[in-house]
Amino acid sequence: MDQSIAPIKAEFWGRPSTLADSQAEAPEAVSKPKVSRRQQKRDRKGQAANRLCHSFMKDGTCAFGDGCRFSHDVDRVIEIKPRALPGRCPYSSLETCPFGPTCGRYDFSKAAGTLRQLQDDSGHAHLAKIWDVVAHQQGGESNADLMSHQREKPRLDLRGKLYLAPLTTVGNLPFRRICKGWGADVTCGEMAMCTNLLQGQSSEWALLKRDSSEDLFGVQICGGYMDTMTRCAQLLEDQIDVNFVDVNCGCPIDLVCNKGGGSALLQKPERLEGVMRGVSTRLSCPVTLKLRTGVSQSHDVAHTLLPRISSWGVAAATLHGRSRHQRYSGKANWDYIGRCAEAAPQLQLVGNGDIFSFTDYEEHIAKTPQLASVMIARGALMKPWLFTEIKERRHWDISSGERLDMLKRFCSFGLVHWGSDSRGVENTRRFLLEWLSYLYRYIPIALLDVVPQQLNWRAPAYVARNDLEVLMSSEHPSDWIKISEMLLGPAPEGMRFTPKHKSSAYPPTTAPRDAEQENG
């Protein structure tokens, strides 16, 4: 992977002064050890005693009684609740706020504050039973019977449309709303495991939630076997309304591949065919496929699969120009993507990998006119306004104030999506921090000697044009927490943060085990 240092103009050379730097220079500062993701979860669970129990809020009872790890003391929770966040409650249009006295936007007095019934909008508590029904209905059908079903599907047209990739963790609904505002045409939910969907896990079904602004929206499912993927497809057909369903055949993570899903399917084309045929027969919407070049860099297989997948019921495919073993190291092989597009002219093929400017986009489209469009992944995480740059054909020197306004919108969307109570604020802050672990890698255009910035350039120490720009360029999680406090109020005392995807570190030239693990 190209790890060259970004060429910064001489007048901006130097070391920026950030919150983390000032703390390090203070004599009383104590360095904190890096905290693991598991410890972060323990820290969040330890704060559960300061949150009201949802069951208790609903009807005044709780099945766990005194053993519940959440609080049943309404007065205490109101008393220790942080001060109200600025701005209007995102639920102000409703007759009553669903979070009542726990809402982070209101200063409820003990006398005036009354409990409101929490609205359960997941709608998936009965999914385990539905799975049993689907399984029973399919019990007498063989694989051949499943493949024989034919469905009339609407046409999916991706040509010329900018496609935001399904991104694990960071590609949540509030982030997709941000990208839609910047010009993304196609959006897709985060990768959902089919077995978790079949078991009715509410956290997994939340990944499939769609915003009204997402006019061309799909969901991505992952699994390695025809029976479970077919049942999952039937469940999606019955429960949700989407424009397409994408099957993941590109995720490189060991946890997924060891269960037969993701990139592991590239080694088993017969099983992949069964999965795609089974999913396609159960859905009335188009089915798409996302895959990599192959498992190893020395053995590409995508060009042998793509000419065949149209007969499996696949309407379009996205090809990431790296192998599974490469993860996100090395440059995406766009020459191979072009070869695959020529090998399957009847298929809408979308190219993916290292798009970070409108010149990158135009170069690849011009070189491979057979491509329907491109998918943008890490480029959107580091600068979501990339969609605007491509459509307006310009390099945008976006100001730090405009970027802060973008983060404000994200927080507002997050409080609507995750809730305005303390738990919703906590979730919004956590996902904001995950996103900031990518955003800091953007280098303002005006500071560069060579334009545009390349995706994997390392940023040297540089002095930005104002204090906010300096703060936004910091690689220290403590500075990211400071930004979150500007938008969401004080963070919990002693809060520590480590990015889930380790995106704060640049991947090495060899294929690492701890490289960025966005959806493949």
Q: Is 363 helix (H, G, I), strand (E, B) or coil?
A: helix
Q: Name 32's Cβ contacts closer than 8 Å, sequence gap at least 6.
A: 496
- Supply φ then ψ for residue 469, to 5 degrees: -65, -35
Closest CA to 422 of 132, 54, 30, 142: 54
Distance from chain centroid for Cα 392? 25
DSSP letter assigned to residue 398? -
Amino acid at 157: D
Q: What is the DSSP annotation of 460-485?
A: PPB--SSHHHHHHT---HHHHHHHHH
* Catalytic option among 251, 285, 340, 411: 251
Cα separations (Å) of 293 from 61, 87, 250, 455, 517? 54, 48, 9, 20, 17
| Residue 251 falls in the annotated catalytic set | yes
Q: Is 190 helix (H, G, I), strand (E, B) or coil?
A: strand
Mutual angle of helices 334-343 and 358-367, in 10-degree steps: 40
Across-strand partners of 217?
187
199, 220 in Cβ contact below 8 A? no
Long-range contacts of 64-69 (CB under 8 A, 24+ apart): 69/45
- Supply φ then ψ for residue 247, to 5 degrees: -100, 130
Q: Name 425's Cβ contacts closer than 8 Å, sequence gap at least 6.
A: 85, 104, 415, 488, 489
Residues annotated as part of the active site = 251
